[in-house]
């Protein structure tokens, strides 16, 4: 199975709200190829391009998806690994999550690709309480339980694996 290394950004605003993207891509399914019927929420991020490290990819993805720059990044905090079927090919996603903080909350989608314009439905800032109370689908599924520690400033010395 071909690995797909990705950088994911846990972007917090001054009120400790987390930015998530609501999306639905009919060309992405679980390892068996089953596509989710409803949109779901994910963090900012995407595939690490050749020659990039995780931090460089995270900054690029953040600029492309939000238009934000001047964001303060922390070290990697979490990892996940899971299989997805992307455009008919099973890929092993190896995700690394980095926290980041911004004072700006106005988002700009002018750098979105045509695919992003088709699959992204909205972006929303979430409080930790809203994340824990929602019945909407969020990936990684364990994200709501891990966010409060980050909002308290508890940054792990080394990244650890969380449930996808």
Residue 47: the pLDDT is 95
Residue 140: the pLDDT is 97
SS3 per-residue string spanning the chain:
CEEEEEEEEEEECCCCCEEEEEECCCCEEECCCCCCCCCEEECEEEECCCCCCHHHHHHHHHHHHHCCCCCEECCCCEEEEEEEEECCEEEEEEEEEEEEECCCCCCCCCCCCHHHHHHEEEEEEECHHHHHHCCCCECCCCHHHHHHHHHCCCCCCCCEECCC
Domain that holds residue 106: 2-161
Q: Number of folded domains in the chain?
A: 1
Residue 26: the pLDDT is 87
The pLDDT tens digits for 113-145 are 998 999 999 999 999 999 999 999 999 999 999
Residue 53: the pLDDT is 98
Q: What is the CATH number of the domain that holds 120?
A: 3.90.79.10
- Lookup: tokens for 1: 């199975």
- Lookup: tokens for 11: 């972007």
- This prediction has a pTM of 0.94
- Lookup: tokens for 41: 């929420």
The pLDDT tens digits for 13-46 are 999 999 999 999 888 988 888 888 889 999 999 9
pLDDT at 1 exceeding the cut of 90: no
Residue 154: the pLDDT is 97
């Amino acid at each position: 199975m071909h690995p797909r290394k990705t950088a994911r950004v846990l972007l917090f605003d001054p009120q400790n709200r987390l930015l998530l993207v609501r999306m639905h891509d009919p060309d992405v399914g679980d390892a068996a190829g089953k596509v989710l019927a409803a949109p779901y929420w994910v963090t900012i991020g995407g595939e690490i391009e050749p020659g990039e490290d995780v931090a460089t990819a995270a900054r690029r993805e953040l600029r492309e998806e939000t238009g934000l720059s001047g964001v303060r990044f922390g070290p990697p905090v979490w990892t996940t690994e899971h299989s997805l079927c992307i455009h008919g090919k099973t890929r092993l996603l190896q995700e690394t999550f980095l926290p980041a903080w911004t004072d700006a909350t106005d988002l700009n989608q002018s750098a979105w690709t045509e695919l992003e314009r088709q699959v992204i439905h909205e972006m929303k800032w979430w409080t930790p309480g809203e994340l824990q109370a929602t019945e909407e689908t969020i990936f990684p599924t364990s994200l709501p339980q891990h966010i409060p520690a980050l909002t308290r400033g508890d940054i792990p010395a080394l990244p650890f694996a969380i449930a996808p």
